[in-house]
């Protein structure tokens, strides 16, 4: 449960964008609350190793980076609450009311950093077999499929990165992709195509995932020839893009066709005091470093906004004496 | 305040199956990022349900027998045991209020 009824900055979502926003807002001595629905770190917590965050020449574990970012923000006075947010409304006085699982909260500024959830294939068998071979997190589940043949679905950065991770355990990885070329970055593409355990299955979509108690096979269709086939596999790791968590914003912000929140270069939405940063915003580069940069930008602008619109401050969320070392 | 304690293949029977209170087992592994990141949430729940339910963690790398016995194929998985029987299973992570609802349902 949050300590207070009212905060100067409430951040919705605890991935890199939210953690950076929390760090900057707390260091600006704003009463700052981070609300997280599941677990802090967001998608980087699902990533075995982050190799492109500047400053870590040898890479860093995704969960290690997330924990370090979280600790840094909390040491600066940010509070964390594990809650869901279902809606936001703007009040007459310009403050914002957040509807949460634990009741309503008042925020003077809100930074939406709710990220994006993995897309589902939406094929028969997928939901029933989730956790029984169907997975959206290779770093969580790949180790449970040693020395067997598995499938990875997708052709972007996530599919290639996770596909390479899965080769540590599986004897063979079929990379099922609906096009005939990968969309991942060049360095990842080269690694994937050079990996002897990975066999691409081009121009192919999944129509069904079969299995009684656990995944046994994928039913496939070649989109060029129309030919159908059955691919025996013990697991299906699915990485086919993501869907922004932006529905709770309602009409406080405009969204693009993909439901990403439209912001200006200061991460401001059309509603004063409402900001969006990271993967949830439109035209994001969708990188850890750009998300963190977005979060810092939003928090700095939120601090300016608070200076201009509210004369008194509320004081830190967590007093220095109670901050965990 | 009861923090979740580690159980093993050797202590599972005594600490979980023969427990007087219902027990929530958090199946995790050190290489599983989300498993590490959910630890503070599970710890918060362990404080909130102190005295009504016990909370333990089982490292699936070090304790494969128990993980295989309960067919764990995805972590984090949370399972609740009552009188030696699994009565609830949550595969993958769910929001804390959902977890609380599942726990309440077992405690009724």
- CA–CA dist A43, A35 (Å, integer): 16
- A307: β partners: none
- The alpha carbon of residue A13 and the mean position of all alpha carbons in its chain are separated, in whole angstroms, by 9
A267 occurs within a structural domain: yes
Please state the ipTM of this predicted complex.
0.87
Residue B28 to residues A145, A307, B81, B98, Cα–Cα distance (Å): 16, 45, 17, 19
Are residues A129 and A112 part of one domain? no
* pLDDT score for B94: 87
A299 occurs within a structural domain: yes
Are residues A134 and A95 part of one domain? no
Element (DSSP H or E) covering residue A36:
strand A32-36
- B56: β partners: B5, B25
pLDDT grade for B13, boundaries at 50, 70 and 90? very high
A258 occurs within a structural domain: yes
Are residues A227 and A133 part of one domain? yes
**Containing structural domain, residue B92:** 5-107
Q: What is the mean pLDDT of residues A303-310?
A: 98
Give the minimum alpha-carbon distance from A131 to chain B in angstroms, rounded to a whole number: 5
A246 has a chain B CB within 8 A of its CB: no
Are residues A215 and A128 part of one domain? yes
> Taking CB atoms and an 8 Å limit, are B29 and A143 in contact across chains?
yes
Which of B40, B92, B96 is nearest residue A131 as measured by Cβ atoms? B92
pLDDT of residue B1 exceeding 70: no
Last residue of a domain, one of A223, A238, A253: A238
* pLDDT score for B108: 83
Q: What is the mean pLDDT of residues A178-202?
A: 96
Element (DSSP H or E) covering residue A98:
strand A96-100
* pLDDT score for A51: 86
CA angle A105/A107/A108 to nearest 5° reads 160
Return the CATH number at A263: 3.50.50.60
A68 occurs within a structural domain: yes
**pLDDT digit string, tens, across residues A246-272:** 999 999 999 999 999 999 999 999 999
Question: How many distinct structural domains can be found in chain B?
Answer: 1
What single DSSP character describes residue A17?
A: H
Are residues A134 and A225 part of one domain? yes
Are residues A182 and A273 part of one domain? no
A45 occurs within a structural domain: yes
Q: Radius of gyration (Cα) for chain A, nearest Å?
A: 21
Compare all CA atoms of chain B with the CA of A63 and give the residue at the minimum distance.
B33
* Residue of A36, A102, A137 to mutate when probing chain B, most B C-beta within 10 A: A137
Q: What is the mean pLDDT of residues A278-296?
A: 95
Question: How many distinct structural domains can be found in chain A?
Answer: 2
Element (DSSP H or E) covering residue A164:
helix A157-166
Q: Is A45 exposed, middle or buried (0-12, 13-18, 19+ CB in 10 A)?
A: buried
> Taking CB atoms and an 8 Å limit, are A144 and B76 in contact across chains?
no
C-alpha closest to that of A12 among A260, A275, A287, A253: A275
A291 occurs within a structural domain: yes
Which of B33, B61, B92 is nearest residue A63 as measured by Cβ atoms? B33
**Containing structural domain, residue A90:** 6-117+242-322
C-alpha closest to that of B32 among A180, A210, A124, A47: A47
Are residues A145 and A225 part of one domain? yes
**pLDDT digit string, tens, across residues B18-74:** 999 999 999 999 889 899 999 999 999 999 999 999 999 999 999 999 999 999 999
Is A140 a catalytic site residue? yes
pLDDT grade for B2, boundaries at 50, 70 and 90? low
Whether residue A199 contacts residue A173, with contact meaning beta carbons closer than 8 Å, is answered with yes
Q: What is the mean pLDDT of residues A64-88?
A: 96
pLDDT of residue A99 exceeding 70: yes
Percent residues over pLDDT 70 in chain A = 99
- CA–CA dist A246, A113 (Å, integer): 9
Percent residues over pLDDT 90 in chain A = 90
Are residues A133 and A234 part of one domain? yes
What percent of chain B is helix, strand and coil (3-state, nearest 5)?
35, 25, 35
The pLDDT mean for chain A works out to 95
Whether residue A175 contacts residue A90, with contact meaning beta carbons closer than 8 Å, is answered with no
Are residues A107 and A130 part of one domain? no
A1 occurs within a structural domain: no
Last residue of a domain, one of A238, A268, A285: A238
Determine phi and psi for A28, rounding to 5 degrees: -85, 10
Return the CATH number at B63: 3.40.30.10
Last residue of a domain, one of A205, A238, A271: A238
* pLDDT score for A325: 56
């Amino acid at each position: 449960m949050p300590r207070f009824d009212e905060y100067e900055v409430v951040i919705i979502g605890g991935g890199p964008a939210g953690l950076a926003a929390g760090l900057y807002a707390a260091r600006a001595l704003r009463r700052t609350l981070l609300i997280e629905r599941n677990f802090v770190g967001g998608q980087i917590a699902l990533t075995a190793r982050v190799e492109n965050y500047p400053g870590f020449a040898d890479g860093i574990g995704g969960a290690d980076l997330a924990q370090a970012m979280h600790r840094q923000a909390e040491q600066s006075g940010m509070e964390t609450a594990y809650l869901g947010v279902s809606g936001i409304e703007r009040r007459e006085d310009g403050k914002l009311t957040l509807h949460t699982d634990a009741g309503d909260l008042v925020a003077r500024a809100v930074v939406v950093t709710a990220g994006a959830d993995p897309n589902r294939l939406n094929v028969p068998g997928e939901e029933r077999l989730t956790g029984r071979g169907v997975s959206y997190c290779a770093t969580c589940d790949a180790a449970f499929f040693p020395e067997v043949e598995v499938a990875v679905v997708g052709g972007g950065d996530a599919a290639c990165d996770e596909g390479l991770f899965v080769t540590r355990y599986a004897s063979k990885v079929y990379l099922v992709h609906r096009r005939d070329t990968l969309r991942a970055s060049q360095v990842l593409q080269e690694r994937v195509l050079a990996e002897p355990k990975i066999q691409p299955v081009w121009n192919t979509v999944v129509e069904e995932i079969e299995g009684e108690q656990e995944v046994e096979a994928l039913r496939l269709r070649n989109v060029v020839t129309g030919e159908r086939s059955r691919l025996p596999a013990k697991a299906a790791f699915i990485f086919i893009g993501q869907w922004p968590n932006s529905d709770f914003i309602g009409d406080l912000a405009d969204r693009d066709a993909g439901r990403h929140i439209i912001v200006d270069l200061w991460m401001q939405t059309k509603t004063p005091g409402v900001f969006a940063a990271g993967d949830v915003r439109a035209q994001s580069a969708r990188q850890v470093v750009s998300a963190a940069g977005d979060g810092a930008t939003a928090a700095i602008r939120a601090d300016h906004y608070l200076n201009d619109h509210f004369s008194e401050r509320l004081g830190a969320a967590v007093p220095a004496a109670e901050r965990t070392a | 305040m009861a923090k979740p304690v580690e159980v093993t293949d050797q202590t599972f029977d005594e600490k979980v199956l023969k427990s007087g209170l219902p027990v929530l087992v958090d199946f995790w592994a050190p290489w599983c990022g989300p498993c590490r990141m959910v630890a503070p949430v599970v710890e918060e729940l362990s404080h909130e349900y102190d005295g009504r339910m016990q909370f333990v963690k089982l490292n699936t790398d070090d304790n494969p027998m128990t993980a295989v016995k309960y067919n764990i194929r995805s972590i984090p998985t949370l399972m609740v045991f009552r009188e030696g029987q699994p009565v609830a299973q949550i595969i993958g992570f769910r929001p804390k209020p959902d977890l609380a609802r599942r726990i309440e349902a077992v405690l009724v």
